[in-house]
Amino acid sequence: MSEDWAAVARAINERVNELGWRQRELAERSHVSQAIVREIQHHVVERRRSSRTLESLSVTLGWHPQHLFSLLHGRKPPEPAEPATAGPDTVWSRLDALDERVSEINERLDDLKSDLATVLEHVRANR
């Protein structure tokens, strides 16, 4: 199935009008560049966009994270209260991966702290 960027543009434009926002406000709130928001809203350039971009815009507009992605692929968008599927590129999966990485970094820092303490004890003992 082809991608329906016109449906994405319509949905964003309708929602932005409902909220009374300007393009710049949507860009700032979603942390998506105004140029990209403009391209999507006006359906000027059809190019592959990151699912993160669509997710950020969806969440900012008060929709389910996969709302715009669903519209793009001709599917019915999930209700806002529906749980997000944990695909490899969702916010939650990225946060989980970051949390794991932070835990690894903390373990390494603890090891370094212990090693440094041992070195300092050795240096002090040999003075």
Q: Is the pTM of this model over 0.75?
A: no
User: In whole numbers, what is the pLDDT of the chain averaged over residues?
Assistant: 85
| Both structure tokens of 2 | 């082809």
**Residue 106 amino acid letter:** N
C-alpha neighbours within 13 Å on the C-beta side of residue 17: 7
Q: Where are the alpha helices (DSSP H) in 20-81?
A: 23-30, 34-42, 51-60, 67-72
| 55-114 pLDDT per residue, tens | 999 999 999 999 999 999 999 998 877 766 555 555 665 666 677 677 778 888 988 998
Rounded Cα–Cα distance for residues 94 and 113 (Å):
28
Rounded Cα–Cα distance for residues 64 and 34 (Å):
22
